[in-house]
Amino acid sequence: MNDNKKAMRKLKLHVDISVDGCIAGPNNEMDWIDFTWNEELMEYENRLHEPVDTILLGRKMTNEFVSYWSNVMNKPDDPWNAFAKKMIETPKIVFTMTLDKSEWPNTKIATGDLKEEITKLKRQDGGDIIVYGGASFDSALIKENLIDEYYLFVNPVAIGNGKTIFKDLKEIRKLSLVESIAFDSGTVLLHYEVEKN
């Protein structure tokens, strides 16, 4: 192995998903997601984020994301308070074609070609990168085969109609199961790696 060739940073997709493959309702409803996670699930989330030093978001998702975690961070008694602080303090990159400066703290804007921007980001020094969406942003990353690992938190609910993230695939995408965990809440984690040719 060439010692001069360093490993690229991993891009992880973290998403709550229904058993029928939706990550949000047709009007972005997310009230079906179980946010009453137990200690076991919280511990897993903290381990997952330990090597992460960059969060990616699509513009449509960012307001909701920052607002939600800022609110939790301002509640000292909330069990997610420490995790919320990490979400706010971790540097974020928002991919947008409509903004030229950030409206949010600790956030940079990316407006270039998605594949080029992500590839350049992966080649930089740093820890893992995690993406939260939303649906159209996740779909674009999946279509371009930029996701290295999938963390699908399958909620025990079917919503019948909603937004999906695999609809833009033009070919079969093979994944290797790394682990699956059934939490007491009924949520099941499916952790996959993308099979590289």
CATH code for the domain in which residue 77 is found? 3.40.430.10
- The predicted pLDDT at position 59 comes to 87
- Closest by CA position to 93, among listed 74, 73, 112, 69: 112
In a domain, 3, yes or no: no
What is the model's pLDDT at position 107? 93
Consecutive 10-residue averages of pLDDT for the chain (197 residues): 67 97 92 82 91 93 89 91 91 89 88 94 95 90 96 96 93 95 92 87
Residue 155 has, within 13 A of its CA and on its CB side, a CA count of 19
pLDDT of residue 5: 58
Q: Flag whether 70 is in a domain.
A: yes
108 domain residue, yes or no: yes
Let me know: does 191 contact 149? Beta carbons within 8 Å: yes
Domain that holds residue 181: 11-23+38-194
Closest to 129 measured CA to CA, from 114, 145, 115, 146 = 146
Q: Tally the domains of the chain.
A: 1
pLDDT at 144: 94
Give pLDDT, residue 6. Answer: 66
pLDDT at residue 3, as a whole number:
47
Longest dimension (CA), the chain: 50
